[in-house]
């Protein structure tokens, strides 16, 4: 509730409301500088990543050396993951289709990670949300520990989980990287449609690679796309 102590105070409040102060002269420069710093941070992360896979899926992503996949199938999945992660970090992908193999993690952690995977691109949830989703509302700290040991960050988006007080919380690749990923997702469109085929896809779908720039239409939701005659892609299934 706003306290008003006379007509002068009311005039000041109305003036501030209808005539907001001008933005600082260097605001654009600072915004662009921060965006460049984010791009550089994520580019460094991409170069540092090492990926391990089994024939069933990606099982380990770290910013350090890991064992090379033993089988041809595992190497193919690791290569696919590297390609998709690179596209994601460059703002060219809003989802991952490469499978993950979580068979080596404990049951509680696997449930935590599966809940984290359901957080939509560009959104975030508190640790307590995960705890409630897996049926352990008082296990917030255990949820944080499980996410901190996430074997496949980025693909399983533990960076989309933060503290209930609004703080970012910890992250395997560092808090600045976590902030950068959240900023990246806020800037990256989730859906794009092709004006010639009238198909709407998730950004990163194979169909988008062949789309001419002048045919590209960005949508906020599948419902918006369908309302103007587009249909969901059968490959990336944006309505799923």
Asked whether residue 174 is domain-assigned, the answer is yes
Q: Residue 39 — very low, low, confident or very high, per pLDDT cuts 50/70/90?
A: confident
For residues 134 and 79, membership in a common domain is answered with no
Q: How many CA atoms lie within 13 A of 162 on its CB side?
A: 12
- Check whether residue 76 and residue 146 sit in a common domain: no
Given a contact cutoff of 8 angstroms between Cβ atoms, the answer to whether 76 and 51 are in contact is no
**97 falls within a domain:** no
136 & 176 share domain? yes
pLDDT-derived band at 5 (thresholds 50, 70, 90) equals low
| Same domain, residue pair 150 and 198 | no
Residue 99 lies in a domain: no
Buried b (16+ CB within 10 A) or exposed e, 181-204: bbbbbeebebbbbbeeeebbbbbb
Domains: count for the chain: 3
Higher pLDDT, 54 or 25: 54
CATH for 123:
1.10.10.10
Residue ranges of alpha helices (H) inside 19-148 are 27-48, 72-89, 107-117, 127-133, 140-148
Q: Which of 158, 177, 194, 233 is catalytic?
A: 158
Band of pLDDT at residue 32, cut at 50, 70 and 90: very low
| Shared domain check, 121 and 163 | yes
Task: Check pLDDT > 70 for residue 15.
Answer: no
Q: Is 124 within a domain? A: yes
pTM here? 0.79
In a domain, 102, yes or no: no
* Residues of the domain holding 219: 191-232
183 lies in the same domain as 195: no
Confidence check: pLDDT of 188 > 90: yes
In a domain, 64, yes or no: yes
Please check whether residue 11 lies inside any domain of the structure.
no
The reply to whether 158 belongs to the active site is yes
């Amino acid at each position: 509730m706003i306290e008003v102590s006379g007509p002068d105070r009311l005039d000041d409040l109305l003036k501030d409301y209808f005539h907001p102060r001008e933005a600082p002269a260097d605001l654009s420069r600072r915004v662009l500088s921060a965006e460049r710093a984010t791009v550089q941070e994520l580019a460094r992360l991409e170069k540092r990543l090492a990926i391990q896979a089994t024939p069933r899926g990606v099982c380990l992503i770290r910013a350090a050396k890991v064992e090379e996949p033993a089988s041809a199938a595992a190497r193919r999945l690791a290569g696919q993951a590297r390609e998709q992660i690179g596209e994601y970090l460059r703002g060219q992908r809003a989802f991952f289709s490469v499978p993950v193999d979580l068979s080596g993690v404990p049951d509680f952690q696997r449930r935590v990670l599966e809940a984290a995977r359901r957080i939509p691109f560009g959104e975030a949830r508190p640790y307590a949300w995960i705890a409630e989703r897996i049926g352990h509302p008082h296990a917030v700290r255990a949820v944080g520990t499980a996410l901190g040991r996430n074997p496949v960050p980025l693909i399983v988006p533990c960076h989309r989980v933060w503290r209930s007080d609004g703080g970012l919380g910890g992250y395997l690749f560092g808090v600045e990287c976590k902030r950068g990923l959240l900023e990246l997702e806020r800037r990256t469109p989730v859906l794009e449609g092709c004006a010639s085929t009238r198909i709407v896809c998730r950004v990163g779908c194979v169909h988008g690679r062949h789309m001419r720039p002048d045919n590209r239409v960005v949508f906020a939701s599948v419902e918006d796309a369908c309302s103007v005659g587009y249909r969901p892609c059968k490959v990336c299934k944006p309505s799923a």
